[in-house]
Amino acid sequence: MSNPAATVARAETPSPATVAADYLGRVLKARVYDVAVESPLERAPRLSKRLGALVLLKREDQQPVFSFKLRGAFNKIASLDAEARARGVICASAGNHAQGVALAARRLGLRAVIVMPTTTPRIKTQAVADLGAEIVLHGDDFDAAHAHARDLECAQGLSFVHPFDDPEVIAGQGTIAMEILRQHHGEEIGCIVVPVGGGGLIAGVAAYAKALYPHIRIIGVESEDAPTLHHALAAGRPLRLPRVGVFADGTAVRQVGNETFRVAQALVDEVVLVSTDEICAAIQDIFEDTRVVAEPSGALAVAGLKRWLQNNDCGERACVAVVSGANMNFDRLRHVAERADLGADREMLLAVTIPEQQGSFRRFCQLIGTRAVTEFNYRYCDAGAAHIFVGLAIDPGSDDRAEVVHAIRAAGLKVEDLSRNEMAKLHVRYMVGGKAAQISDERLFRFEFPERRGALLKFLDAIGTDWNISLFHYRNHGSDHGRVLAGIQVPTDTASAFAQHLADLGYPHAEETTNPAYRAFL
């Protein structure tokens, strides 16, 4: 016998079709094009070929403020009555929402106050100031800035523009789906993949797309260290996470909105979680197809689509990924470049222990063969064993990883795969080395050699085995020449022979034995 109470509860819950229909008219009437442009929907040829699917990128990075956020901000502000407009608007943000509100207010001739944490980089405060907004710096984090903004809202009679949890903001973001379905027929779209922070974007996209084409799967993507919507859907209610990672800072939100959750719960098909390395690989994927550097949150959808397609497909239908923004902090580019190959499974990191014997270093390199070496760190430790940190290029989806580990173990060497070891990737790879005890006659040299497959082994062959290598550092920086820092033990009675050997090698080199950095740290 059925439970009457349960039946009543289900009857009171709006159906997905009802939730979607409620927003259809709002999206169609949304005012966004006073500030926004209809962004292109472009095929990603390289990514499509690699994934075996038709991948279309919705290029919101091409908006005037390089992000989709101005859509919702303008629609909300435009919906205010004359009295509210006269008093002005306020928001709390250190990123794309701040620029969207500032631009919308300037276009409508309104006063805009933006509260930003005191830790906000100057480049971001300047971008907002250039749009004519008043900037108030308050607190060390977003929560403190948000609380102060709400205080100013009450004290000065300003209208608060929420970054996501507002029907007018959601409707403004929903115009992205309206454009997608105008640019590519809905019957030919299998899924739309959307980055998720507070949920405004995915709620708007889901509502419009599902209202017209219920078959289209709406897939949200979050960073593994900011699973806000993922956890909320599992719990059946919005949850406040104790902390979130900030690499994808544009979506680093600790709790989804109540309205965005209501819509997402009814209409979002699933949420995919991706790692920082996968986000970095997606930034590279987008760059290779568009020559644009997306911000981490802007690349979330591509990262999630790649993950989703590992176990799913859309058949002949297109997969649409929303590239939500390109406000990349320049100082993050090095981190992205370092982690992209790991995220795309194009590089593996190994810790290998070899005997501390003359020639064992070279024999290990012969074991690797002609594989492209991306990184090589070694420092003499003691007379028993040597520890090497090495990076190798591998082919995604191949058996390279298992084959390399098997070959090294078959040679009787101890090896650990550190490719998914976060401490190794963040810290240890930069700390391998240190001062060596009980080492004599060491001299330090910088070498350059042509960068090509097998070049590192050829370099070691040229150095020979007459002198012991006590320190070795190599990192492939993507240039046409490899750069090596090598410590070599050169007894005094062989100094002349060694000097002649270097001259015969013909590799550009410079001695660094007297360098103070070497004396202090190596």
Mention every residue, 6+ apart, whose C-beta is less than 8 A from residue 509: 445, 446, 447, 448, 502
Q: Work out the number of other CB atoms within 10 angstroms of the CB of residue 310.
A: 9
Residue 297 among the catalytic residues: no
Is-contact 171 177, C-beta < 8 A?
Answer: no
| Residue 472, helix vs strand vs coil | strand
Are the CB atoms for 129 and 105 separated by under 8 Å?
Answer: no
Beta bridge partners of 160: 90
Query: Residue 422 burial (CB < 10 Å; 0-12/13-18/19+)?
Result: exposed
* Dihedral angle over CA of 161, 79, 30, 227, nearest 10: 20
Is 69 designated active site?
yes
Q: Which of 39, 324, 419, 470 is catalytic?
A: 324
Query: What Rg value do the Cα atoms of the chain yield, rounded?
Result: 28
Residues linked to residue 113 through DSSP beta bridges, in sequence order: 90, 134
Q: What angle do CA 92, 194, 328 make, to 5 degrees?
A: 55
Integer Cα distance of 459 and 42 in angstroms: 45
| Residue pair 356/342 in contact by the 8 Å Cβ criterion | no
Classify 34 as helix, strand or coil.
coil
CB contact set of 288 (below 8 Å; sequence gap of 6+): 46, 47
Contact 23, 174 (CB under 8 A): yes
CA atoms 24, 18, 227, 169: torsion sign: positive
CA–CA dist 323, 91 (Å, integer): 24
In degrees, to the nearest 5, what angle opens at C-alpha 130 toward C-alphas 124 and 133? Answer: 90
Relative to beta strand 347-355, strand 414-417 is antiparallel
Indicate the SS3 state at residue 99. Answer: helix
Check 39, 58, 67, 69 and give the catalytic one.
Answer: 69
Q: What is the DSSP string of 451-499?
A: -STTHHHHHHHHH-SSSEEEEEEEE--SSSEEEEEEEEE--GGGHHHHH
* Residue type, position 269, single letter: D
Segment (H or E) for 295: none
Nearest of 397, 398, 401, 419 to residue 51 by alpha carbon:
397
Cα dihedral angle (261, 265, 270, 273), rounded to 10 degrees?
30
Residue type, 516: P
d(CA 390, CA 473): 10
Tokens read off for 381: 């430790």
Active site positions, annotated: 69, 324
